[in-house]
Amino acid sequence: MEGHGSLVIDIKNRKVKDLRLNIFEGSRFFEPLLKGRGYDEVPEISSRICGICVIAHHLTAVKAVEKALGVTPSEQTIELRKLLDLAGLVQSHVLHLYFLALSDYLGYESTLAMIGEHPEVVKRALRMKKLANDASELIAGSPMRQATPVIGGFTSLPTKHQLEHLLRRMKDAKTDAIKTLDLFASLKVPEFERKVECFALAKEKTFAIYDGEQIASTEGLYFPVEEYQQHIKEFVVPYSTAKHSISVSTGESFLVGALARINVNKQHLSDGAKEAMDRIEVRFPNYNPYMNNLAQALEIVHSIDQIVCTLEKLLDVGVKDEKPEVKVRAGEGVAATEAPRGTLYHHYKINNAGRVEYANIITPTAQNLKNMEEDLKAVVPQLLDLPKDEIVLNLEKLIRAYDPCISCSTHFLETKFV
Amino acid sequence: MKIKTAIIGLTACSGCQVQFLNIEALPEILDVLDITYFPLAKGKNSDGPFDLTLIEGCTSTPEQIDEIKKMREKTKTLVALGTCACFGGVNAMKNFYSQEKIEEEVYGGTKLLYKSIEASPISNHVKVDFCVPGCPFDKEGFLDALKRVVMDKKPPKIYHNVCAECKLNERGCLLEKKKFCMGPVVMGGCSALCPRHGYPCQGCRGPSEDAKVETIDAFLKILEDHGIPKEEIPRKFMKYAGVIEPFRRIIYERY
């Protein structure tokens, strides 16, 4: 029946003549609506863009507004934000892997339907999701509505005791993270490869998620985030309310997200994640988009390690009572972070009254959509000998592997063969 | 017999559907609800009929209005889940701007194949039996509503504002500290999540039961006395529930 998108494929003589991913998700016009709003409202409003990566939007907006206002957050603030961002990443990956992607591979119509036969898997998913949510609640007040992270710092801070408790739970969670990775490593993904340029946030010697001011690509690009418009071109296609993008240097589509991040920054994964990677014998760079799910599972292992490490660091120094301080001035700021689905750009101009004059947001989905279409075009000819419902399932698996931030990442998909 | 349930998403961020999956008691809920339609998380989706339909999001395309009308015919109890479905949410800010202008700004000269219309709460088009507000909705509030659906009882009503719950936290009043906190005119039921953490209430749960234009006038006077810039006031009222009375009248008649 209804949906947020549909896939139209036009095939003639076993060749794909045309392929379009129609996206008709209701447009929400955030950028013009942000204009005139006070700088302090920007993270709150921008974070309403996506309910699956709320935290990523909130923190990217905070970072961009701080750059515009010339605010330098304390080291403690940055550590707490890293923690929050990683918790958000784990929450989103768990939701995506267990609730949206897994059932396709295990032959169930949904994860909810697996509860009878695989209660341990469903319970693990819920346990991991709850832990990630509890961590964001501790830092931000709520996993879905960030009450504490504001421009300049936090309005309220966790206690030592709370952080110690979280640390114990996170250490225990490593087992669940490894089990998740093993589960996804055991799934047989379709064989397919299409080499594309991958982009990710970069910062020396780290697997950049929150912190970082440069963008790196597998084609050797390395540029400051402020230059994003010179390297990424966003454009409108009439059949999609979500925009499309190309890499300016190649003129081609490109990839962002877990797989792209690992392709770009694999040497900076945690030791635990590297060990796990060797054990399951997977090699990166990898250009099979279906492998994005495994990359996400690997990122969960990395994120848990990183959260433990950040918590230990914070506890070692002790959480100081700091108050956010902001002086309003006119300015412009661009920030990027790695949202669960890929690099997220927020760009604002603020006037001397502290109000937004310009807003531009480029979501990972807008960057990946064109690449997704190109992958679908390339994979369709490989599948033509399969029965129709299996073709559709394989295409859905591919779209869901990307995890686009539109509800069409899910089971909307109406596929029309023309 | 389990309750045959549909969960659908309209114009919104999917956050309330995610919030549904965040409910700790999900396995227990699945003992009571048979979710037969939930495109976000299911491959097989039934055509109905349903005992219960949970709707996230507001309508902002003509197709969505048709969709919820069809859903209404197929369902016994219809619930508006979250602020977008209840009051239009942040999506309805656009109703205060020229549609043509904002479309031009986002999509440039390209005309899309899909039409975007005024964002409206679903109650503008269909009868809503229960409203569970919040951005996202409050899990406790949802479970309370769900229990009443199961027992065939009337929807829960929250009579108090955010301040009533905020006082219990004893963290001091942000409005007294001259911050623009919407607490006095906004519906409680969130345990004062934001003010409890030192962040002023932004009004995401919509107007409180007793918010009338006259009582809001007294609140506006306090804001003006605190030196809150005049243009900021209507903007705050339009953020989550500007198309709902009495907030709509405040925006149009007082500013």
pLDDT for B32 equals: 94
A167 touches chain B (CB under 8 A): no
pLDDT of A418 strictly over 80: no
A27 touches chain B (CB under 8 A): yes
| Secondary-structure breakdown of chain A: helix, strand, coil percentages, each rounded to the nearest 5 | 50, 20, 30
Top-level CATH class of B3-150? Answer: alpha beta
Under an 8 A CB cutoff, do A32 and B26 touch? no
A156 touches chain B (CB under 8 A): yes
pLDDT for A413 equals: 56
Per-window interface: B 153-192 vs A, CB < 8 A: none
Look at residues A268, A255, A252, A258 and name the one whose alpha carbon lies nearest to residue A217: A255
B81 touches chain A (CB under 8 A): no
Q: What is the pTM of this model?
A: 0.96
What are the residue ranges spanned by the domains of chain B?
Answer: 3-150, 162-254
Cα separation, A125 vs A111, in Å, equals: 10
Per-window interface: A 283-342 vs B, CB < 8 A: none
Closest CA–CA distance from residue B18 to any residue of chain A (Å): 7
- The structural domains of chain A, ordered by start, are 5-417 (1.10.645.10)
Residues in A touching B14 (Cβ below 8 Å) = 50-52, 407
B105 touches chain A (CB under 8 A): yes
Closest CA–CA distance from residue A356 to any residue of chain B (Å): 13
> What amino acid is encoded at B66 in this protein?
D
How many angstroms separate the Cα of A156 from the Cα of each of A138, A139, A166, A376, B203? 10, 8, 17, 46, 20
Mean of pLDDT values over A179-186: 97
Mean of pLDDT values over A388-417: 73
Mean of pLDDT values over B155-163: 92
Q: What residue spans of chain B are helical by DSSP H?
A: 15-22, 26-32, 62-74, 83-87, 99-107, 139-150, 162-169, 193-196, 213-225, 232-241, 247-249
- In sequence order, what DSSP letters do the residues of A98-113 get, joined into one string? IIIIHHHHHT-SBSGG
Under an 8 A CB cutoff, do A51 and B17 touch? yes
B35 touches chain A (CB under 8 A): yes
Look up residue A327 and give its two tokens.
Answer: 């002086």
**B26 vs A41, A100, A126: nearest CB:** A126
Under an 8 A CB cutoff, do B61 and A142 touch? no
What percentage of chain A reaches a pLDDT higher than 70?
96
A32 touches chain B (CB under 8 A): yes
pLDDT for A405 equals: 61
pLDDT for A251 equals: 96
pLDDT band at A410 (very low <50, low <70, confident <90, very high): very low
Under an 8 A CB cutoff, do B35 and A31 touch? no
A118 touches chain B (CB under 8 A): no
pLDDT of A409 strictly over 50: no
pLDDT band at A396 (very low <50, low <70, confident <90, very high): confident
pLDDT digits (tens, 9 = 90+) for A223-277: 999 999 999 999 999 888 888 999 999 999 999 999 999 999 999 999 999 999 9
Per-window interface: A 210-269 vs B, CB < 8 A: 236-241
pLDDT for B72 equals: 98
pLDDT digits (tens, 9 = 90+) for B105-118: 888 878 888 888 99
Nearest CA in chain A to B95: A33
pLDDT digits (tens, 9 = 90+) for A126-156: 999 999 999 999 999 999 999 999 999 999 9
pLDDT of A411 strictly over 70: no
> What amino acid is encoded at B229 in this protein?
P
pLDDT for A404 equals: 66
Under an 8 A CB cutoff, do B41 and A144 touch? no
Q: How many CB pairs under 8 A join A and B?
A: 184
Mean of pLDDT values over A215-220: 96
pLDDT digits (tens, 9 = 90+) for B178-206: 999 999 999 999 999 999 999 999 999 99
Burial B13-22 (b: 16+ CB within 10 A, else e): bbbbbbbbbb
Cα separation, A391 vs A389, in Å, equals: 5
Under an 8 A CB cutoff, do A236 and B110 touch? yes
Under an 8 A CB cutoff, do B102 and A112 touch? no
**B64 vs A26, A108, A236: nearest CB:** A26
The pLDDT mean for chain A works out to 93
How many angstroms separate the Cα of A168 from the Cα of each of A77, A78, A83, A92? 22, 22, 15, 22
Mean of pLDDT values over A95-121: 90
pLDDT for B115 equals: 86
pLDDT digits (tens, 9 = 90+) for A336-350: 999 999 999 999 999
Q: Provide the sign of the torsion angle of the four alpha carbons B46, B48, B53, B55, taken in this order.
A: positive
A149 touches chain B (CB under 8 A): no
Under an 8 A CB cutoff, do A148 and B199 touch? yes
What percentage of chain A reaches a pLDDT higher than 90?
80
Residue pair A88/A55 in contact (Cβ under 8 Å)? The answer is yes
pLDDT for A414 equals: 64
- Pairing type for strands A149-150 and A153-154 reads antiparallel
pLDDT for A376 equals: 94
- In sequence order, what DSSP letters do the residues of A187-245 get, joined into one string? S-PPP-----EEEEEEBTTB--SSS-SEEEETTS-EEEGGGHHHHEEEE--TTBSS-EE
